[in-house]
């Protein structure tokens, strides 16, 4: 390295810094401003050493100097620090005693921080969405008159009511007992908060001190978790609501979300659960009781609670004390006059604890039917129904429901004895339904012993029990409406004759015998082997003979019968799909509700109304559209329906349904019994009310293939059960009570309609002789139900009535001897016989009345010939 880069040699004696160090004064005893201090240069090397014991003095002097430099004048003090603590001007322990300025400033700063933090917290914490559980309610089901039937169907037993339906007595009781300052505070109680904080800090209870607003926030927006975080959140939301919400809104919200015991959430459910009344009808004593429950129903509900301390006796004692305290507290805070308080000295009586939310007896079945109707008609999902809040006014009339229950139970007790005949009288079940004829409203039903009796199948709304001979009116109605293949579309008369003998061969629509499973001609069996010969369809219905209807269904067509049944309200899915003879005898399985509604169509002269169970539905105070009486529809010609009624009146007056005569007013109905006596029915009606009753037997506990109908032979101690027995007795007893006070009415008079289309082989009657003016020797009768062309000799006036299909002016008087029409045998006028191959008996003229439906003459295989 070159010489010029090297550092020059340093001088001895400390280098260039030595003169500076020497020039600086050395602190020491007595040193200070303005005093001369010897330097190292003047005293020599030994002079720079500090004398022993002088270093502590130097430090103290330096400290005093620093303090002195902080203030003018050089005196020590506190001016150099932001916070004078420890206190510089004090010595010893006094230095650590804070001044009043420090204490006040600290408190003020802490308060400012709290206020700022609270402001930030309130501003940043929004009001959360309400808990779904807090909004969940029950659905209120009402009787037809608007009185409450039951509140159920939701996930929570609650019915939210507005503040105007919460009595003032309840509001006063709760405010006096829970939060005296509620109407003036801002949602929180500082003293209560302090108490809660102390409790949490010391490990004690975290409850207490909450205002009504805070409890409402906890119920509505948060949960019951006892944590500091939840308490702080509750505090902020309460302050926010206290500044923004109306007091009535908060109070109503609290009373609607609080739990009162007895599975009741909200004041309305509680009023119902404890006193069987609406909240708006509570008196001050009852209100004080419910306010007492808010203290904690587990320990205050007189029914008892959970735990050794929550016995009914202990709970009632606590409840009585709390109830009296609430009333006294109302007086103390000026919310009740002493004179009013003095009226309530007796602990309020409560209704019995309802089991299963009141779904006992028939209530469960009624609710089930109405709920299903609401969901289907209003397109309301199961999830929405579960959230509740619907007020559903049904069509069910409590007096008629009670009457139906009594009729069933009385008859059951009279006929059945499970102890004496367990192998026969066990598992016998009843179902019934009653429908208003004019509207289609279901006014009563009997579904079974009740959900509370573990019977969950609604026998009134169950499809699965064959209806037996109660199906025959649909076959006859189809024949009257559409005619048979023998009448070529013209409706036939109820006086048409069919073979009624037992084991008669049934022919198909082609006139060929039906074949059984063995390939042999099928022979229809009647209930008895009695020989009846040919009888009118009216008579066949009166005696409920099977053979005529087994043949008639083929002559009419199964599809036509299904069409008629459907038009009266029978559901297609309940109809037997087989086109066999048994179809006419009731192998279909409509419910009791559908059968009652369907027969109401006959009572209403052919006008059908769908059965309905709900009048109105309300949600949040608004009435939902789409409910009420369904629109009516024309199911069949009124004359057809009135003729069916005429036939069914004959059943009641003179046939298998005579037990119903005891009703003592015009009634029509039909009995029904199935093969092997597995079911029995009676369906009947008056002009006002249509009711069906079914009886069957099965094991309700059986499952799968074992769940089947059992024979009712020997039930009630008799060989077999018929629809005219137990079902008819129940029907009569119920209808007598249900129609009490209702004036008796007659059915509309049935006009004679249709053509007489006798079945093959029926005997040929002799037409009545009728005087006739001069006429040509023969007159041709048009093969039409329309008016016969007049004879040239009768002055242009017709000599036959329009509905007389077999009529000849010349022979109507019986002046000639009817000839043979190559196989057809008549007693008409000349040339009035049937042609060869005639397959039926004589076509006869019905009595005066309406003609059958147009569309052609009867297909008797005959051409009505004229004489020559």
Domain with 173 in it: what CATH number? 1.10.3810.10
- Two tokens at 662? 């005891």
Q: Are residues 119 and 178 in the same domain?
A: no
Q: What is the model's pLDDT at position 227?
A: 55
Residue 473, strand partner residues: none
**Does one domain contain both 233 and 112?**
no
β-bridge mates for residue 391, sequence order: 140, 618
Stronger pLDDT, 130 or 179, i.e. the higher one:
179
The answer to the question of residue 288 being in a domain is yes
CA distance linking residue 279 with residue 277, whole number of Å: 7
Give the pLDDT score at 120.
53
Residues 91 and 200 in one domain: no
- In the DSSP assignment, the letter for residue 48 is G
Whether residues 115 and 164 share a domain: the answer is no
pLDDT over threshold 70, residue 322: yes
Does the structure show a pLDDT above 80 at 327? Answer: yes
127 burial (CB, 10 Å; 0-12 / 13-18 / 19+) is middle
Q: Following CA atoms 231, 233, 238, 239 in sequence, which dihedral angle do they give, to the nearest 10 degrees? A: 110
Q: Is residue 497 part of a domain?
A: no
Where a domain ends, among 340, 357, 374? Answer: 357
- Residue 469 near residue 673, CB atoms below 8 Å: yes
Domain membership flag for residue 597:
no
Q: Is the pLDDT of residue 852 over 80?
A: no
- Residue 847 is given by DSSP the state P
Q: What percentage of the chain has pLDDT greater than the value 70?
A: 68
Of the CA atoms within 13 Å of residue 314, those in its CB half-sphere come to 11
Highest mean pLDDT among 103-112, 444-453, 681-690: 681-690
At residue 389 the predicted structure's pLDDT band, cuts being 50, 70 and 90, is confident
Between 210-224, 379-393, 597-611, the lowest mean confidence (pLDDT) is in 210-224
Span 489-510, average pLDDT: 95
pLDDT (0 to 100) of residue 489:
79
Range of the domain at 813: 766-868
In a domain, residue 609? The reply is no
pLDDT, average across residues 199-215: 64
Percentage, residues of the chain above pLDDT 90: 54
* CA 423 to centroid of chain Cα atoms: 37
The answer to the question of residue 8 being in a domain is no
Asked if pLDDT for residue 443 goes beyond 70, the answer is yes
Shared domain check, 119 and 161: no
Write out pLDDT tens, residues 160-184.
899 999 999 999 999 999 998 888 8
Predicted confidence at residue 90, as pLDDT, reads 80
Comparing 134 with 150, the larger pLDDT belongs to: 150
212 vs 747, more confident: 747
Question: CA 762, CA 537: separation in Å to the nearest integer?
Answer: 13
Q: Say whether both 169 and 115 belong to one domain.
A: no
Domain count, the chain: 3
Q: Which two tokens stand for residue 166?
A: 């919460």
Summarised one tens digit per residue, pLDDT across range 394-416 is 999 999 999 999 999 999 999 99
Q: What is the pLDDT of residue 814?
A: 34
Q: What is the mean pLDDT of the chain?
A: 78
pTM: 0.66
The domain boundary, picked from 82, 100, 124, lies at 124
Regarding predicted confidence, which is higher, 58 or 37? 58
Residue 405 lies inside a defined structural domain of this protein: no
Overall average pLDDT of the 308-319 stretch = 94
pLDDT band with cut points at 50, 70 and 90 for residue 98: confident
Same domain flag for 101 and 213: no
**More confidently predicted of 147 and 49:** 147
Please choose, from the candidates 502, 582, 496, 507, the residue with its C-alpha nearest in 3D space to the C-alpha of residue 537.
496
- Which residue's structure tokens are 């240069």? 41
What is the average pLDDT across 456-477?
95
**Do the domain assignments include residue 279?**
yes
pLDDT at residue number 113:
64
Quickly tell me which residue has 């006139």 as its tokens: 511
pLDDT at 600: 98
Residues 186 and 323 in one domain: yes
Q: d(Cα 685, Cα 847) in Å, to the nearest integer? A: 27
pLDDT of residue 158: 86
Contact call for residues 224 and 218 (beta carbons, < 8 A): yes
Residue 794: predicted pLDDT: 32
Comparing 355-364, 560-569, 590-599, 857-866, the range with the smallest average pLDDT is 857-866
Q: Strands of 390-394's sheet, edge to edge?
A: 148-152, 139-142, 390-394, 614-619, 622-623
Tell me: do 81 and 214 sit in the same domain.
no
pLDDT tops 80 at residue 38: no
Judge if 299 and 213 occupy the same domain: yes
So what's the pLDDT on residue 381?
87
pLDDT at 77: 46
84 shares a domain with 190 = no
Sign of CA dihedral 707, 712, 717, 719: negative
Where a domain ends, among 357, 377, 399?
357
Please tell me which residue, 155 or 494, carries the higher pLDDT value: 494
Average pLDDT over residues 739-762: 93
**Residue 2 pLDDT exceeds 50:** no
pLDDT for the residue numbered 66: 47
Same domain, 214 and 320: yes
Between 202-216, 330-344, 460-474, the lowest mean confidence (pLDDT) is in 202-216
Residue 630 within any structural domain of the chain:
no
Report CA-CA distances (Å) from 315 to 305, 306, 312, 353: 8, 11, 5, 15
């Amino acid at each position: 390295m070159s010489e010029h880069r090297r550092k020059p040699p340093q001088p001895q004696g400390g280098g260039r810094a030595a003169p500076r160090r020497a020039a600086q004064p050395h602190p020491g005893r007595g040193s200070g401003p303005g005093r001369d201090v010897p330097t190292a240069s003047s005293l020599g090397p030994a002079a720079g050493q500090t004398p022993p014991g002088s270093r502590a003095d130097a430090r103290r002097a330096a400290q005093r100097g620093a303090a002195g430099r902080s203030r003018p004048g050089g005196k020590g003090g506190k001016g150099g620090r932001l916070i004078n603590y420890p206190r510089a001007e004090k010595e010893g322990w006094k230095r650590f005693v804070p001044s009043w300025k420090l204490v006040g400033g600290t408190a003020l700063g802490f308060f400012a921080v709290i206020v700022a933090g609270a402001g930030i917290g309130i501003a940043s914490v929004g009001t959360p969405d309400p808990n779904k559980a807090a909004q969940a309610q029950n659905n209120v089901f009402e009787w037809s008159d608007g009185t409450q039937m039951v509140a159920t169907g939701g996930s929570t037993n609650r019915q939210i009511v507005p503040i105007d339906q919460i009595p003032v007595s309840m509001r006063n009781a709760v405010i006096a007992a829970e939060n005296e300052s509620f109407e003036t505070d801002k949602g929180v109680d500082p003293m209560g908060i302090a108490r809660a904080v102390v409790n949490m800090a010391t490990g004690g209870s975290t409850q207490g001190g909450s205002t009504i607003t805070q409890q409402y926030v906890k119920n509505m927006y948060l949960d019951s978790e006892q944590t500091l975080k939840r308490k702080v959140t509750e505090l902020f939301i309460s302050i926010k609501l206290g500044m923004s919400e109306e007091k009535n809104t908060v109070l109503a919200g609290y009373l609607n979300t609080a739990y009162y015991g007895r599975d009741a959430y909200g004041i309305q459910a509680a009023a119902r659960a404890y006193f069987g009344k609406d909240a708006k009808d509570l008196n001050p004593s009852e209100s004080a009781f419910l306010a007492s429950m808010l203290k904690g129903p587990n320990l205050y509900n007189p029914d008892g609670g959970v735990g050794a301390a929550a016995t009914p006796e202990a709970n009632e004692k606590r409840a009585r004390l709390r109830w009296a305290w609430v009333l006294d507290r109302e007086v103390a805070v000026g919310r009740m006059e002493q004179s009013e308080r003095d009226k309530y000295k007796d602990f309020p009586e409560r209704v019995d604890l309802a089991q299963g939310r009141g779904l006992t007896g028939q209530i469960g079945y009624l609710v089930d039917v109405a709920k299903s109707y609401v969901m289907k008609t209003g397109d309301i999902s199961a999830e929405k129904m579960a959230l509740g809040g619907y007020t559903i006014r049904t069509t069910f009339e409590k007096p008629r429901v009670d009457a139906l229950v009594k009729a069933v139970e009385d008859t059951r007790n009279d006929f059945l004895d499970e102890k004496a005949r367990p192998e026969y009288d066990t598992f016998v079940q009843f179902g019934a339904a009653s429908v208003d004829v004019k509207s289609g409203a279901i006014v009563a039903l009997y579904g079974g012993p009740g959900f509370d009796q573990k019977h969950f199948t609604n026998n009134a709304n169950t499809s699965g029990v064959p209806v037996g001979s109660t199906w025959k009116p649909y076959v006859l109605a189809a024949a009257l409406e559409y005619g048979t293949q023998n009448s070529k579309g013209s409706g036939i008369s109820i006086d048409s004759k069919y073979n009624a003998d037992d084991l008669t061969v049934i022919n198909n629509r082609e006139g060929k015998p039906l074949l059984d499973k063995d390939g042999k001609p099928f022979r229809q069996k009647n209930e008895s082997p009695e020989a009846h010969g040919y009888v009118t369809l009216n008579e066949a219905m009166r005696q409920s003979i099977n053979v005529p209807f087994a043949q008639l269904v083929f002559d009419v067509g199964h599809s036509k019968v299904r069409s008629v049944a459907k038009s009266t309200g029978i559901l297609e899915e309940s109809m037997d799909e087989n086109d066999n003879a048994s179809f006419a005898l009731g192998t279909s399985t409509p419910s009791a509700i559908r059968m009652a509604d369907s027969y109401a169509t006959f009572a209403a002269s052919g006008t059908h109304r769908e059965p309905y169970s709900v009048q109105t539905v309300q949600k949040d105070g608004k009435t939902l559209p789409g409910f009420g009486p369904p629109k009516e529809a024309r199911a069949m010609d009124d004359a057809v329906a009135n003729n069916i009624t005429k036939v069914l009146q004959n059943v009641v007056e003179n046939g298998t349904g005579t037990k119903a005569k005891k009703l003592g007013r015009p009634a029509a109905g039909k009995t029904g019994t199935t093969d092997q006596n597995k079911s029995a029915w009676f369906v009947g009606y008056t002009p006002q009310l249509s009711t069906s009753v079914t009886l069957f037997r099965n094991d309700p506990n059986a499952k799968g293939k074992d769940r089947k109908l059992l024979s009712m032979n020997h039930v009630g101690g008799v060989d077999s059960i018929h629809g005219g027995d137990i079902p008819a007795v129940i029907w009569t007893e119920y209808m007598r009570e249900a129609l009490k006070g209702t004036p008796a009415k007659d059915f509309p008079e049935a006009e004679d309609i249709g053509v007489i289309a006798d079945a093959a082989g029926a005997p040929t009657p002799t037409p009545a002789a009728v005087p006739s003016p001069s006429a040509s020797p023969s007159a041709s009768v048009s093969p039409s139900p329309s008016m016969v062309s007049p004879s040239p000799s009768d002055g242009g006036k017709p000599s036959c009535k329009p509905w007389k299909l077999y009529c000849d002016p010349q022979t109507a008087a019986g002046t000639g001897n009817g000839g043979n029409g190559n196989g057809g045998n008549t007693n008409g006028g000349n040339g009035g016989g049937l042609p060869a191959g005639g397959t039926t008996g004589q076509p006869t003229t019905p009595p005066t009345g309406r003609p059958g439906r147009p569309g052609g003459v009867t297909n008797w295989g005959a051409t009505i010939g004229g004489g020559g």
